[in-house]
Structure 1
Amino acid sequence: MEVVKAVDEQNQVQEQEQNSGLREKSPVIRMKRPYFIMLLVFLVIFASGITAFALSFGKESQPMVIGGSSERDEFAKLYNAYDTLKKGYYKDIDEDKVINGAINGMIQSLDDPYSTYMDEKDAKEFQHSVSSSFEGIGAEIQEKDGHIMIVSPLKGSPAEKAGLKPKDIVIMVDGKSIQGMTSTQAVMLIRGEKGTKVELTIQRPGVEGTIKVPIIRDEIPIETVHGEMVGDGIAKVQITTFSTNTSKELVETLNNLQEKGMKGLILDLRQNPGGLLEQAVSISSMFVPKGKLLFKVEERNGNIEEYKSKNEGNPEFPLVVLIDNGSASASEILAGAVKESAGVPLVGEKSFGKGTVQTVQDFPDGSNVKFTTAKWLTPNGNWIHKKGIEPDYKVAVPDYYNLPYLDPKLELKKGSSSNDVKTAQQMLSVLGFDPGRKDGFFDEKTENAVKAFQQANKLQTNGAITGSTTEKIIGQLQEKIIKDDPQLKKAIEVIKKEMK
């Protein structure tokens, strides 16, 4: 018998998620227009005002003639400011730039990192990057408090390999400050073709100073589901993002694992930044009994729409779900649904906390506006926005999981003193080579530890940390992180009890 009897094919979304390698966080949950007509509320105000600037955004409202009887009082100040600049500024103004600035200002005044405006040029470039390739660094970002923050690097991506972590704040890109940029502007600056290099300067919570992270852009993995047996009839399936074919991939993976003897499942949503809402509905339905609530959507007028499981039956195996602070949006919908409607235990760390829904309105001139239309609630009515979902079994990861990236091009040797040396000393210590100190000063004991590491790995024994030595240190640290994984170990412990 197949693991999943029914997956609603109508939920297979025709629209490919915006994933060009580095993705803007704001569209991670997107509702179809029949579900959310609330954008009309916005457009009635938006279109009637902006048409005064000779932009035609549709038929949602009647065109306005400045000074005519249809002029709206609430836009008087806006018109006056525009006329004042056009007539009195010391040089000719760029009308398109001023108008786009006014629109962008309206969006920014919402103080909502998930709402943004793209003018014709930015929208065209962004759509081109989406349709032409899946190349970039592979990370979800969002604007927060005027900064660009990493939500989550994608599994196997250059961003993950370079050591980017959730909550990292990007300060500069190739030495250029991005302070005050929108997430869209940051995406356009960071994305690029496979094989090209970009250097991010980041601030990491709990780490002193800034960290420079060089990344070689590459093709981003398209597969979103990865499954394996982890022993004793237990399978682990990681979902990296909720894309167009994720539910189909998951069904195939589960059926394959069942043939290998799967009797219990660990669903890994760590570092999953979200994706398409329809996929979250399909996948949640696989693990929640038919008719039970998956989540609710609350509009600004207080109306609530309930989304229920469409599954015809429950999988015949116990389930445990892994989450962390990189689990966001659609991941949180799934985690909340199985926790509250199916009694599935969650293991790991508190999730990211993204509880809003966005939609995109395209305009005839090629620009668009993406804005929040509603908030979603868990089956029990909890709004997890900015709070996240607490796991049933809280398991922290070791401090060395968050060590900064160490650039192989650097040469660290006896007499050096820097934060990079401090990072290298911490890495050596974790790998079992005692540097004698961890304060950032490269002394004789640290040199001896490096030589011992080089000898153990058949590298040139010169006592300096650079090139292949650095790469080997980083590689072994990554292997240790995967091998140790205290969250996975706890999940295995929990599911074994569920299987009895």
Structure 2
Amino acid sequence: MKNKWLVIISICSLLLGASGTYVSLLWILPPGTMDFSKEKVESNHEATTKGERNPGLEKVEDAFELIQKSYVEDVSDRQLIQGAIQGMIGTLQDPYSVYMDEEASERFNDSLDSSFDGIGAQIAIQEGKLIIVSPIKNSPAEKAGLKARDQIISIDGITVEGLDLYEASKQIRGKKGTNVKLEIVRSGLSKPLEVEITRDEVPVLTVFANMKKSSEKNIGYIQITSFAQGTAKDFSKELRKLEEQNLSGLIIDVRGNPGGMLSTVEAILYELVTESKPYVQIEERSGKKVPYFTALKEKKPYPITVLIDEGSASASEILAAALYEIEGYSLVGKKTFGKGTVQQALPLDDRSNIKLTMFKWLTPDGNWIHGKGIKPTIEVDQPAYFHAHSLQLEETLALDMNNENVTIAQEMLLALGYGTGRQDGYFDEQTEKAVKAFQSINKIPVTGKIDVKTAMKLEEQIISAIQDEKNDLQLQVALKTIR
């Protein structure tokens, strides 16, 4: 293996959308890939390659020659070698360790750009299932309604069974303007959702900041959507601007943030947590734990609250754990994703790569959150309509019908202030009255039936309600916590 180095950045992920009325994009990387020193990886590699050759490799060579000479059809050397590597990695049963051939490696390098063509959400494989970790902020995927924990079961009608992450991304990714059809399984729905998504360019913007007023106090708000190159610099710049405005408190929002570079979250933590505890501990294969400290002597003169949810993974969890366990800051929202391992991409001579899990990371207090996540200090559920499913209309919904789509429509109508009297999926007269009222207000032909036009308007208004921060209960609780 040549002495090359590749920094892994988990910023551009699979981006998908659940509503046919919105455009979505795609790219995929597993959540929360982080980088470590070149010297560390090379020394580990040298340690594992020294010594005599494993005699078991002779058996592999025998199998290679047997297949090459005797199999009923011709098989290329490249195919057999890649299959052997993939088989070895598969025995690890680690969704984050992946072999990337030359083509996949090139796509991986493309993901380091400031934008990419795709659908826009991050995916991972868990327990053999291809799941969405989180859609990227402001992506068509987010606007279309794809959610963390959605499971992809087919791409363009072809099952994803047996695909690794990079094969799945290869099928989903494509040129801007082309479409991809995904079949999604979502908790709470008895039938899969079929989603047709138009690929587009996804810009990678990672820091969004503004000042919020709460009880006449200036509360700074910074959302970090991933920990990419340049994120720490942008964070520092936005923080300085907020601090120049008589800041009374700060909210850091890492909801839906799938992770990124360790060096980036380190740089941010250097501004926020003191040297009293390690901000992270890296556990090596031997069990040795290496603590990392900041040099900060004094904490910020204002309180900080962190917003977290099921889509907060890896580097986001490092940030949340450090701010809570070192400084005692509040965590508001829902339990995080639970990704506590570190991967490195190790280049092979033919420009392919093995991305291998090489370390565990532990919180300042030595907790390993892998598969468990981090619980908030203040648990807050969002309003039910934040989790509303998309209407998958195969027929117009009307009086006396009883199905899942009616339930979804009733939930939407209730959230928008149109009382249906029930949410059990039965389209009764009260539901019909609510539909007529909605149609009348929105200047849609008043039929009392939910056709495509009515369904689109319902979804449009639900998305608008979700984007109104007054309805963001987690944010509102965070503001009160600061006060």
Check if 1:322 corresponds to 2:294. no
AA in 2 matched with 1:139 = A
AA in 2 matched with 1:345 = S
Give the alignment's TM-score, normalised by structure 1: 0.85
Check if 1:23 corresponds to 2:28. yes
Q: Distance in 2 between matches of 1:393 and 1:37?
A: 43
Q: Distance in 2 between matches of 1:215 and 1:257?
A: 38
From 140, 144, 150, the equivalent of 1:158 is 140
Q: Which residue of 1 aligns with 2:77?
A: 95
> Post-superposition shift, 1:122?
2.7
> Aligned ranges for residues 337-416 of structure 1 at < 5 Å?
337-406=322-391, 412-414=396-398
Q: Distance in 1 between matches of 2:328 and 2:429?
A: 56
Q: Distance in 2 between matches of 1:137 and 1:444?
A: 40
- Cα pair 1:411 1:464 within 8 Å, conserved: no
Deviations, residues 420-461 of structure 1 (Å, cap 9, x unaligned): 332122211221223354344545543332221121122333
Check if 1:295 corresponds to 2:280. yes
Check if 1:143 corresponds to 2:125. yes
Q: Distance in 1 between matches of 2:157 and 2:411?
A: 27
AA in 1 matched with 2:271 = M
Q: Which residue of 1 aligns with 2:41?
A: 36
Q: Which residue of 1 aligns with 2:480?
A: 493
Q: SS of 2:307's equivalent?
A: strand
Q: Which residue of 1 aligns with 2:21?
A: none
- Cα pair 1:17 1:244 within 8 Å, conserved: no
Q: Which residue of 2 aligns with 1:64?
A: none
Q: Distance in 1 between matches of 2:481 and 2:367?
A: 25
Q: Distance in 2 between matches of 1:127 and 1:175?
A: 28
Q: Which residue of 2 aligns with 1:267?
A: 252
- Cα pair 1:236 1:265 within 8 Å, conserved: yes
From 166, 189, 203, the equivalent of 1:207 is 189
AA in 1 matched with 2:221 = K
Q: Which residue of 2 aligns with 1:253?
A: 238
- Cα pair 2:9 2:33 within 8 Å, conserved: no
Check if 1:286 corresponds to 2:279. no
> Aligned ranges for residues 98-247 of structure 1 at < 5 Å?
98-128=80-110, 131=113, 133-232=115-214, 233-247=218-232
Q: SS of 1:463's equivalent?
A: coil
Q: Distance in 2 between matches of 1:18 and 1:225?
A: 12
> Post-superposition shift, 1:32?
3.0
- Cα pair 1:28 1:273 within 8 Å, conserved: no
Q: Distance in 2 between matches of 1:282 and 1:249?
A: 11
> Post-superposition shift, 1:316?
2.4
**Unpaired segments ≥5 residues, structure 1:** 1-12, 45-59, 62-69
Bigger mean CA deviation after superposition, 245-254 or 188-197 = 188-197
- Cα pair 1:14 1:244 within 8 Å, conserved: no
AA in 1 matched with 2:389 = P
Taking only the aligned residue pairs, the percentage that are identical comes to 41
From 38, 49, 74, the equivalent of 2:56 is 74
Counting matched residue pairs gives 460
Measured at CA, do residues 226 and 288 of structure 1 come closer, stay the same or move farther in structure 2, by a change above 3 Å?
Answer: same
RMSD of aligned Cα (Å): 2.5
> Post-superposition shift, 1:187?
1.2
Deviations, residues 212-236 of structure 1 (Å, cap 9, x unaligned): 2333323324221112222132222
Deviations, residues 459-500 of structure 1 (Å, cap 9, x unaligned): 33343434443333123222333432221222122111xxxx
Q: Distance in 2 between matches of 1:303 and 1:156?
A: 41
AA in 2 matched with 1:96 = R
AA in 2 matched with 1:222 = V
Give the alignment's TM-score, normalised by structure 2: 0.88
> Post-superposition shift, 1:310?
3.6
Q: SS of 1:73's equivalent?
A: coil
- Cα pair 1:139 1:151 within 8 Å, conserved: yes
Measured at CA, do residues 387 and 427 of structure 1 come closer, stay the same or move farther in structure 2, by a change above 3 Å?
Answer: same
- Cα pair 1:149 1:168 within 8 Å, conserved: yes
- Cα pair 2:212 2:220 within 8 Å, conserved: yes
Measured at CA, do residues 185 and 437 of structure 1 come closer, stay the same or move farther in structure 2, by a change above 3 Å?
Answer: same
Q: Distance in 2 between matches of 1:410 and 1:155?
A: 30
